[in-house]
Each structure stands twice: as structure tokens, then as C-alpha cells.
Amino acid sequence: MIAQLPLALRWPRRQRFDQFFPGATNAAALAIVEGAAANAHGGCVYVAGPAGSGKTHLLIAACQAATDAGVSAQYLSLRHVRGSRSDAIAGVGGSHLLALDDIDLVAGDAEAELALFATYNRYLDAGGVLLLAAQALPAAMPVQLPDLRSRLGACTQARLTPLDDGERRHVLQAQARHRGIVFDAAVLDWMFARYPRDLGALLDLLDRVDRASLAAQRRVTIPFLRSLLREG
């Protein structure tokens, strides 16, 4: 089993259910994952959506919610695995809830597909909760193992779509206010014009801006952002 640190020590506070903004299209997916986190009877949920749509946020939020309720939980991103993905998948377990992120990466890897198939069976046979996340829906995943393709298709599906620009601005402003930062419209316009509009990237930038503004004891202005990003 992979050693698990307390979730609060590994992920920022913003990756929680109460910090997830569903926008106009993602309320149903949020409700499905919240339900899975509270499920004592087991099952599989497959979260699908393009990069930046909030998959990782929901998986980590589910792990934290389960932990807060006294239920054991683990999270593993296959994108960040060094070495064998099949070994990494086989190495997690023993928790009631297991969240596996970026499972797109098992497709075409025979050993990783077998490991995921075995983990799926192990968790559902034991009454555990399995959360899986990928960009593609199960039907579009180029999985070679027919039994795994069948199992993925049997999961409850939670589909995410990216927020539009107005919704991203709303989230960024809300997160900034939470940190005591005031962004005026000109600052937001500048950020959106010059920085990737992926919400995760924008929130990572906000974390960086927060640290730098506190260290410098300066307001967040366009000249301050220019200086910060030039130095980076």
C-alpha cells in the first residue's frame, strides 16, 4: 500500500466541495460525486471532462469529505506516477474510498489495464467506493481489455464541462476575496488576456500572487503582476 499523508497536509483548502463552483452545467456531476463520498454501500463513479473542468478538484474533495466523516480514503494521479503505472495501481488499497485520477493513461498499457480491472473488482466486491477520472467517456476510451471496458461503462457517469469566462472570473474573484485580495476589473482583464484560461492554472497563479503580495506587502495591481510574472 502507498503511504498516505493526511489530506489537509497535501492539498490546498480550495479543493473541497464547498469551494467547487458548478456553474450552469456541472451541478449534477457535483451531486453525484458528493453522493459517492457519503456512500457507505460502495459503487463506482466515473468523472469525465476536459482538462481544467474540475475532475481533480472533485476527487480530492471526495477524499477529504470521506476523511472528515471518519472513512478511510486514498487518491492517486496516474499522471504523476514515476515508473510502472500497473504497480502504482496495484499498490493502493485498504481504504473504503479510492480515487484514481487520469486513468486515460492506462489505455493501451496491458499491465495497467489488468491492474485497474483487478482493483475495480476488488473494491466493488468489498463494498468500497471507487472514483475514476478521465478526459474521455468510457465508450471513447481506447481500452483494449474488453472486461475493463465493460466495467468502466457500468460506472455511474458524472460529466463535467469547463466554465465559461464569466464563471471563471466569478471563481477567481471569490477565491481572491477569501484571501483578502481585491481584484479590480482591469487586473482581471489583464490576467485573462495574458495567462492560460484553464481554471486550475488561474487558481495556481492566484496562490502565487497571494504569497508574493503578502511577502511584499503590496496591493495586486497590473504593474505588480507584470513584475511578478517577469521574475518567474
Rounded-to-integer distance, Cα 214 and Cα 15, Å:
22
At 231 the pLDDT is 58
Pick out the chain residues at pLDDT < 50: 1-9
At 194 the pLDDT is 81
- Which domains occur in the chain, in start order? 7-159 (3.40.50.300), 165-231 (1.10.8)
At 119 the pLDDT is 97
Cell 484553464 belongs to residue: 198
pTM > 0.75 = yes
Q: What secondary structure letter does DSSP report for 135?
A: S
At 7 the pLDDT is 46
At 177 the pLDDT is 87
Helices 185-194 + 222-231 axis angle, to 10? 30
Per-residue model confidence as pLDDT tens digits over 140-186: 999 999 999 999 999 999 999 999 989 988 888 888 888 888 888 89
At 196 the pLDDT is 67
At 9 the pLDDT is 41
At 167 the pLDDT is 92
Do 62 and 89 contact (CB within 8 A), yes or no?
Answer: no
| Chain centroid, CA 130 distance in Å | 14
In degrees, rounded to 5, the angle at the alpha carbon of residue 157 between the alpha carbons of residues 33 and 95 is 50
Per-position DSSP letters for 59-123, written without gaps between them = HHHHHHHHHHTT--EEEEEGGG--S-HHHHHHH--SSSEEEEE-GGGGTT-HHHHHHHHHHHHHH
